[in-house]
């Protein structure tokens, strides 16, 4: 992926990693279109970044995805990149019978990118060069047991990205997978954004952009901080690593779940 001269749609672009990526690519001279469900967040972002565009999109809604794809064909015919950033993460207690959260996570994190890719691909195949960037997670490779469906969707996105890349190998469309570590955003709430255990957002974005600039043909974008998770299965002690990783989080999860539904 060239670092500049693209027309890029970034889902979930009004906050967190999505907004930070949008601003970074905007600064490199790309035409950036951000999408999301929260109009006020989109508006704040484009007001702070003159020249950036926004379009409301409910990534859970198949009809809305088709509407946005049609609108983009008319408003931005040069669209040649999409970054599938929109996603939700919720803790779940698997002993609770309510699967509402799980279904919402699957629809947003997995079906959303699949549907949007299908809707945008005819337009992108017409471009001289195009990029689909999926966003998985280090948790796709070493799941955190307190967020089982989130981790499962990210593992599925990794698998989907590999198949998508192979099927599109003889087309102008390239497929990249961004693999974030634990980053300071509000993905799980305000406290998440200041957690000292998480990677600062600016440092993450700076490293991501440096990787893209240095290796524009990379299949995966992995900052140094995510590599222990990405390579966990190759380390020879996966089961022990998995147990240590999840034991460190189980105490807080147990306190949260005691007699309560996972919401």
The catalytic site residues sit at 150
Locate all alpha helices (DSSP H) within 131-216, ordered by sequence: 148-167, 201-214
Task: Show the tokens assigned to 203.
Answer: 């440092």
- Bridge partners, residue 33, by sequence: 9, 53
Is residue 1 within 8 Å of residue 133, measured between CB atoms? Answer: yes
Is residue 65 within 8 Å of residue 119, measured between CB atoms? Answer: yes
The three-state secondary structure class of 118 is: helix
With DSSP H G I counted as helix, E B as strand and the rest as coil, what are the percentages for the chain, rounded to 5? 50, 15, 35
- Which strand (E) or helix (H) includes residue 36? strand 31-36
- Bridge partners, residue 220, by sequence: 177
Do the strands 53-56 and 81-84 form a parallel or antiparallel pair, or are they unpaired? Answer: unpaired
Q: Is 197 exposed, middle or buried (0-12, 13-18, 19+ CB in 10 A)?
A: exposed
């Amino acid at each position: 992926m060239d670092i500049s001269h693209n027309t890029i749609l970034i889902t979930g672009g009004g906050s967190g990693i999505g907004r930070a990526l949008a601003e970074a690519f905007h600064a490199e001279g790309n035409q950036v279109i951000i999408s999301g469900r929260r109009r006020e967040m989109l508006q704040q972002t484009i007001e702070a970044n003159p020249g950036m565009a926004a379009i409301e999109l409910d990534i859970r809604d198949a009809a809305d995805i088709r509407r946005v794809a049609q609108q983009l064909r008319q408003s931005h015919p040069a669209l040649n990149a999409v970054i599938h950033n929109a996603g939700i993460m919720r803790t779940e207690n698997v002993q609770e019978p309510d699967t509402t959260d799980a279904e919402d996570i699957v629809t947003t994190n997995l079906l959303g990118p699949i549907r949007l890719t299908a809707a945008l691909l005819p337009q992108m195949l017409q471009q001289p060069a195009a990029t689909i960037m999926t966003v998985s997670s280090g948790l796709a490779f070493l799941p955190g047991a307190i967020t089982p469906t989130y981790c499962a969707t990210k593992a599925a996105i990794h698998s989907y990205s590999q198949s998508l890349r192979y099927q599109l190998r003889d087309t102008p469309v390239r497929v990249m997978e961004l693999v974030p570590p634990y980053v300071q955003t509000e993905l799980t709430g305000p406290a998440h954004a200041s957690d000292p255990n998480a990677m600062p957002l600016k440092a993450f974005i700076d490293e991501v952009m440096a990787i893209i600039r240095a290796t524009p043909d990379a299949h995966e974008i992995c900052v140094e901080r995510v590599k222990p998770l990405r390579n966990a299965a190759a380390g020879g002690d996966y089961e022990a690593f998995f147990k240590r990783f999840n034991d460190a989080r189980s105490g807080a999860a147990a306190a949260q779940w005691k007699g309560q539904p996972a919401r």
